Structure 1
Amino acid sequence: MSEFWRRRRVLVTGASGFLGAWLSRLLLDRGAEVCGFDLTTGVCLAAHGLEARVPIVRGSVLDLAAVERMLRDQGTEVCFHLAGQSMIEGAAAGPLAALEVNIRGTWTVLEACRRAGTLRGVVCASSNHTYGVQRTAPFAEEAPMNQLDVYGASKACADILTRCFAASFDLPAVTVRNVNSFGPGDPHTSHVVTGSVLALLRGEAPVIRSDGSPVKAYLHARDTMSAYMLLGEHAAETGVRGEAFNVTPAAPVKVLDLVRALIAVTGRTGVEPVVAATDLSQKDFFEHLSGEKLRRVVGWTPALSLEEGLADTYRWYAERGTAWIGAGHRA
């Protein structure tokens, strides 16, 4: 195993979020010195028992001086930029705020990293949602970014800015377009896996808001963040610097089949998801990203199968109960 992260000083914006907490955990496991930059402390770090191990400096990624000061004071060597509006519904409800934090927030972090002049790697979170509707599948990184909703457009702009700073200023920056992540410590009860797990633990059948037909890719958060770390390790190298990379499993799955797979790993019988079909906005939705580039360039593949990831997630929530996460879900 590489010793790259040992005693490496790392800044994670959005460290208090679901994926930020997972990234912090994995970095600490590899010996990194992690500091978070976020507006809140949240519950996600606590879910991993990391409240005392990851200091959080409260601040906004819209504040250039604050980000610069954070990088300088910590002596940051690698920056992971995960902060921003990560919910599609939230972006639609507050488009101006979402556009500002996802676009301006990204260029602020990139500019702070450029001015610091000491960064060995800058990894910025883009999204699978930048692709929108494509004519052919699987979607490679060269495919056009066709998504026209607020969230997808904001992430597409951030994606372009990251590659712009790499090309224009030789910043060792890389863009990550990861698919839907699930796993222990996810507080978003609207996410299909988390919501379905909670329903099963309450003794209820999971409810799917769509008609179950949307085809999407799902990846355990541990695997998602292991890809981020590998790209952070190689960000300055030719073939990685300035590039965009999909982080995805080999194949997508229908939402209905995903929930059925979750039920199967719990060992429960006689339980079938309730297909409410109250939200048909994603009817006939099809998403299939190609992971070939990431495998070829840095050798990444998921460590967990879909079933293994679902089983791990269910066990975690079953052991810890549901009170910490709140009530309600939708899929």
Structure 2
Amino acid sequence: MSESTSPWAGRRVLVTGCTGLLGAAVCHELFDRGAAVVGLIHERSGADIFAPGQGGRVHFVRGRADNVFRLHSAMAVHEVSAVFHLAAGEPFAADRGTPAVLDAVRLYSRRVPVVAARPLQAFTLTGHAEPLGGLSVARFGAVFGPGDRKVFRTAPATALALHGGEGLPPLPDGPVTDHVFVRDAARACLRVAEDVAVRGPGDYPFRSGWVLSDRRFGAAMRDVFNGAAPTLPDVAPPANPLGWAPETSFTDALQETLDWYGALARTGGRARAAA
């Protein structure tokens, strides 16, 4: 979609967690569609993941995702028209960021859509959506791809081990998880925000059909690294909301991921998030 025909062209969008894996990918999708990003960052470090040519498209605001005043101020000053709340919370602490974002939006404008990402497992285990309270939720299994600096996760650990000549690292063989390429997950988030403007808040589980254990996912990365075709379960493509489906093939997604970590290893950790 070109900037001239995109519903995002000329809009300003607040993104919390803009330097994270999914947050950065959402920013790049917004850039491609002609939007400007207001990126909430806690620390200035990490903001250099965006290329110099994107400097006019991103405006950084220092603050925390649980600070209602700072969030409302950023929304009002920059006149944002949508919010992607993608900041990661503390793993064992109560979620204070989401209520703060929703409170700030209510003070600013109830018409502004708010989209967050949540684990797919939480939806499948309960069998129903959690109360939204104005929040739209895009759900994914394991999101992977260029830009993930949490090297303990399966994709980064495997890619760095392969590039370091260490072979496949020890990975568990269960349970299985639906894996989604980060750029496709970002496109899903934008589709959710577009749908909210028409139908209101909702809960959207997205599945690629790439259902693998960590060990089998790592083996697929090794196959692509060695120039072979990866193996996927022979299952029918899953039905997804909003007509979404992966636009990147599994092989290409793994290759892009491997290439990014190869560059990261060569540059000593200075690679930018993939555009």
- Alignment of 1:258 with 2:217, yes or no, is yes
For residues 43 and 262 of structure 2, the distance between their equivalents in structure 1, rounded to whole angstroms, comes to 27
- Offset of 1:247 from its aligned partner? 2.1
Determine if contact 2:13/2:35 at 8 Å carries over to the other structure: yes
Match of 2:232 in 1: none
For residues 190 and 320 of structure 1, the distance between their equivalents in structure 2, rounded to whole angstroms, comes to 15
Letter in 2 for 1:309: A
Match of 2:103 in 1: 111
- Alignment of 1:49 with 2:51, yes or no, is yes
- Alignment of 1:123 with 2:106, yes or no, is no
SS in 2 for 1:237: helix
Structure 1 residues 80, 41: closer, same or farther in 2, change over 3 A? same
* Residue 185 (structure 2) aligned to one of 213, 216, 224: 224
Unaligned 5+ residue runs, structure 1?
Answer: 135-141, 146-158, 167-172, 270-287, 327-331
- Offset of 1:126 from its aligned partner? 2.0
Structure 1 residues 291, 196: closer, same or farther in 2, change over 3 A? same
Match of 1:310 in 2: 254
SS in 1 for 2:58: coil
- Alignment of 1:324 with 2:257, yes or no, is no
Deviations 1:112-159 (A, max 9, x none): 111212644211222224247x4xxxxxxx7157xxxxxxxxxxxxx5
Match of 1:181 in 2: 143
Structure 1 residues 119, 79: closer, same or farther in 2, change over 3 A? farther
- Offset of 1:27 from its aligned partner? 0.6
For residues 24 and 107 of structure 2, the distance between their equivalents in structure 1, rounded to whole angstroms, comes to 27
Q: Paired residues, what number? A: 258
Instruction: Show the 5 A alignment for 1:167-316.
Output: 173-210=135-172, 212-238=173-199, 241-267=200-226, 292-294=239-241, 298-316=242-260
Match of 2:86 in 1: 82
SS in 2 for 1:4: coil
SS in 1 for 2:75: helix
Structure 1 residues 42, 76: closer, same or farther in 2, change over 3 A? same
Instruction: Show the 5 A alignment for 1:141-180.
Output: 143-144=127-128, 159-160=130-131, 163=132, 165-166=133-134, 173-180=135-142
SS in 2 for 1:324: coil
Determine if contact 1:227/1:300 at 8 Å carries over to the other structure: yes
For residues 67 and 238 of structure 2, the distance between their equivalents in structure 1, rounded to whole angstroms, comes to 35
- Alignment of 1:20 with 2:23, yes or no, is yes
Alignment RMSD: 2.5
Query: Under a length normalisation based on structure 2, what TM-score does the superposition of the two structures give?
Result: 0.85
SS in 2 for 1:109: helix
Deviations 1:146-205 (A, max 9, x none): xxxxxxxxxxxxx53xx1x23xxxxxx411112211111110101101110000110111
Match of 1:274 in 2: none
Match of 2:70 in 1: 66
SS in 2 for 1:236: helix
Determine if contact 1:37/1:58 at 8 Å carries over to the other structure: yes
Letter in 1 for 2:185: T
Identity %: 26
